[in-house]
Amino acid sequence: MGSSNGHCSISLAVLFVFVVTGDANLGSCGCFKRIFSFGDSIIDTGNFAYTIRNRSPSPPSVLPYGETYFHHPTGRGGPRIKTDWGNSSIRKLTKAYKPHNMLYTNALSDPYYLSAQALGLPLLPPSLPEEKTGQFPTGANFAVFGAMALNPNYFKSRYNLSVPFPWSLHDQLATFNKVLTRIAPGDAATKRLLSESLVVFGEIGGNDYNFWFFDSELSKDRNTPLQYMPDIIDRIGAGVQKVINLGAKTILVPGNFPIGCVPVYLSTHKSNTSADYDQFGCLAWFNAFSRRHNQLLKQEIGRLKSRNPSVKIIYADYYGAFMEFVKNPNRNGIDSPLVACCGGNGPYGTGLPCDWNAKVCRDPSRFANWDQVHMTEKAYSVIANGVLNGPYADIPLLHAC
């Protein structure tokens, strides 16, 4: 579906057709032959589920994750994981997973599942299951739940802290480079393959803040995350430059969400001081923190654009897209933008992990948040539209051809 000026134009209504029917050919505009993505649980398509496949079941492997679209948990697009364990095992495991460590959603989880279909490509496969053998003809996803922008050694050496998960952006890029060496050996072949691909760089960096702010003792100090924020931005920028050096010509770099509007933050940092909240009921300081991250990220992207004038580096405004639900919930069919669909009886739908025992809302399409951290398919679909067609990307993705 191309226009005379070479751009692609897909309405939200048509985009939903792609999502519901799974007919990728309807949306093909010939922009990109493949998508490669990096990031954390926001975009993980099953890498984490693969890493724990021989252990006890994890939240992404059990209902209610995936209930709306796939009708079974899938590790978000990855291979279906066997889920015939006893309830006691599930309860034991999910009790160990705090709400902020959950991943997945009720259905399609990230805007790029939607954009992949809108661009005429199938859902991205996770990289780990076929890391050594797969040819990935339409791309692959290297993201993994819990991943951070900074290496765990950074926090160990500077703050003597052990972060919850071992995966970092550095690891994903190293694996990506190994895969490229195998499927497109030689500089010329690598550059040709990447010039025909879209590279999605996150969202990444959120977990570098989450582990700090979710800790009751660490979170008393809010200055330290501000101090290491520039290092997160530098790491993201260095990663973008690395894939550019390899031959990438179109790169999408999302910013961070307004964490002050996320149920787990609202619950963990609940305040009795009205001045701590903005006019929409979000925590003002944490939203200002997210805006600061995004401001620095946009400055870094500006520098990268100046350094690489032949490369399209697109900033995706996740913050602005998310605030659409908060500012205008009724316009988007959302009843309670600050309440999680899956969780407990707390004021923000918090208090319990999202598992078989959790309280789940009757209609997830009326909610923006799924499991107290991640969003619902409805929210992701609206964000996808804003990134694909604007206004929540400085170059709408479907105009990037």
Residues near 270 by beta carbon (within 8 Å), at least 6 away in sequence: 347
Token digits for 135? 């040819």
221 is catalytic: no
In this structure, what is the dihedral angle of CA atoms 345, 350, 352, 354, given to the nearest 10 degrees? 110
CA 281 to chain centre: 24
Coil, helix or strand for 221?
coil
Write the DSSP assignment of 149-180 as a string of letters: SS-HHHHHHHH----S---BHHHHHHHHHHHH
CA dist., res. 25 & res. 22, Å (int): 9
Q: How long, in residues, is the chain?
A: 401
What is the 8-class DSSP label of residue 82? P
Q: Report the 10 Å Cβ neighbour count for 75.
A: 27
Residue 75 backbone class (left: φ over 0; alpha: ψ -120 to 50; beta: rest): left
Helices then strands, each counted (H, E), the chain = 13, 9
Q: If DSSP codes are grouped into helix, strand and coil, which group holds residue 245? A: helix
Please report where in the chains the tokens 């069919």 appear, as a residue. Answer: 333
> Which residue out of 37, 40, 41, 127 is catalytically annotated?
41
C-alpha–C-alpha distance, residues 222 and 290, integer Å: 13
Question: Amino acid identity, residue 201?
Answer: F
For residue 241, what are its two tokens? 């430059």
Nearest CA to 352 out of 67, 98, 58 is that of: 98
Choose the catalytic residue: 208, 317, 355, 371.
371
SS3 209: helix
DSSP 8-class letter at 247: T
Indicate which residue of 100, 170, 293, 374 is catalytic: 374
Q: Catalytic residue at 293?
A: no
Active site residue 374: yes
Q: Among candidates 135, 145, 116, 117, which has minimal Cα distance to 45? A: 145
Q: What does residue 23 show for φ and ψ, rounded to 5 degrees? A: -85, 95
Give the active site residues: 41, 371, 374
